[in-house]
Structure 1
Amino acid sequence: MTSIYLTKEIKELIDNGAIFYVSHSGGKDSQAMYALVKEIVPTKQIVVVHADLGEVEWEGVQDHIKQYTNHPINVVKAKKTLLEMVEKRGMWPSAKHRQCTSDLKRGPIFKFIRNDLKARNATVAINCMGLRAQESSARAKKKPFSYNNMQSCNNRVVRHVYDWLPIFHFKTDEVFRTISDVGQKPFWAYEKNERLSCVFCIMGCVGDLRHGAEQRPNLYKEYVELEKKIGHTMFMKGKEPISLEEYVGIKVSNL
Structure 2
Amino acid sequence: MMRTISTTPHIDELIAANAPIAIGVSGGKDGDTAGFVVTEELDRRGHTGPRILIHADLGRVEWDASLPQCQRLADRLGLELVVVRRTKGDMMDRWLQRWQDNVQRYIHLECVKVILPWSTASMRFCTSELKTSVICAELVRRFPNTTILSVAGIRREESAARAKAQPQKLQKKLISTTHNTTGYTWLPILDWTLDEVRALHGERNFPMHTTYQTNSRVSCRYCILASQADLLASTTWDETHPLYREMVDLEIRSTFAFQDAGWLGDLAPQLLSVQQQAGLADAKRRAAERMRLEAEIPQHLLYEKQWPRYLPTHAEAQQLARIRQQIGALLDLPVLYTDAASVRARFRELMQAAGRAPVEYEGMATLRQLAFV
| TM-score (ref. length: structure 1) | 0.89
The structure with the greater share of residues assigned to strand is 1
After TM superposition, the runs of 4+ consecutive aligned structure 1 residues lying more than 4 A away are: none
Q: Distance in 2 between matches of 1:207 and 1:43?
A: 44
Equivalent in the alignment of 1:45? 50
Distance 1:31 1:250 in 2: 35
Contact 2:21 2:149 in 1 (8 A): yes
1:223 matched to which residue of 2?
247
Q: State the shift of 1:171 in Å.
A: 1.5
The question of 1:236 aligning with 2:241 is answered no
Match in the other structure for 1:74: 82
- Which amino acid is the alignment partner of residue 243 of structure 1? W
* Structure 1 position 228, deviation (Å): 0.6
Alignment partners' CA distance in 1, 2:242 and 2:18: 47
2:165 pairs with 1:142: yes
Equivalent residues in 2 for 1:8-157, closer than 5 Å? 8-41=9-42, 42=47, 44-69=49-74, 70-79=78-87, 80-90=89-99, 91-118=117-144, 122-153=145-176, 155=177, 157=179
**2:334 aligns to what?**
none
- Whole-angstrom distance in 1 between the partners of 2:173 and 2:139: 13
Following superposition, the deviation at residue 218 of structure 1 comes to 1.8
SS at match of 1:48: strand
Deviation of 1:156 after TM superposition, in Å, equals 6.0
Indicate the RMSD between aligned Cα atoms, in angstroms. Answer: 1.8
Q: Give yes or no for contact 1:148–1:161 (8 Å, CA) kept in 2.
A: yes
Say which SS state the counterpart of residue 173 (structure 1) adopts.
helix
Letter matched to residue 63 of structure 1: P
Count residues in correspondence.
245
**Distance change in 2, residues 1:157/1:78 (3 Å):** closer
Supply the distance in 1 between the matched residues of 2:26 and 2:48 (Cα, whole angstroms).
Answer: 20
Over alpha carbons, which structure has the higher Rg? Answer: 2
Displacement of 1:204: 1.1
Percent identity (aligned): 29
Residues 162-200 of structure 1: per-residue CA shift (max 9 Å, x gap): 110011111111111122122211111111111111100
Find the counterpart in structure 2 of residue 252 from structure 1: 271
The unaligned stretches of length 5 or more in structure 1 are none
The alpha-carbon deviation at position 252 of structure 1 amounts to 2.2
Change (3 A) 1:251 1:109: same
SS at match of 1:112: helix
How far is 1:150 from its partner?
A: 4.8
Q: Structure 1 stretch 43-52 or stretch 163-172: which is displaced more?
A: 43-52
The TM-score, its normalising length taken from structure 2, stands at 0.62
Gaps of 5+ in 2: 100-116, 274-373
Deviation at 1:46, TM superposition (A): 1.2
